Amino acid sequence: MKRLIVLVSLVLQAAGACALEIRFKPVAHGVFAYVGDLGGRMVQNQGLNANLGLVVTAEGAVLIDSGSTAQEARLVEQAVRRVPP
């Protein structure tokens, strides 16, 4: 029974972890921001409670903060790629 509870808990945590989607919102021309959760790092927010910035210019883009883990960085990269040039 204890193993079943642990398994169900892990599955629910994984399902919550997959739900996080990062979307940069425009702040000014060529400037975008993602405001993370205001609370602490949790499974639901995958530990991403930071604010991220993105500046897009004709020469390229500058990312301000990529997250604290490789998994967060991959999510941030996907979000950056969705921002129009």
pLDDT digits (tens, 9 = 90+) for 36-69: 766 666 666 565 667 889 999 999 999 998 777 7
Q: Mean pLDDT of all residues in the chain? A: 76
Contact 63, 54 (CB under 8 A): yes
Domain interval for residue 71: 2-82
Global pTM reads 0.67
Count: domains in the chain: 1
pLDDT at 55: 96
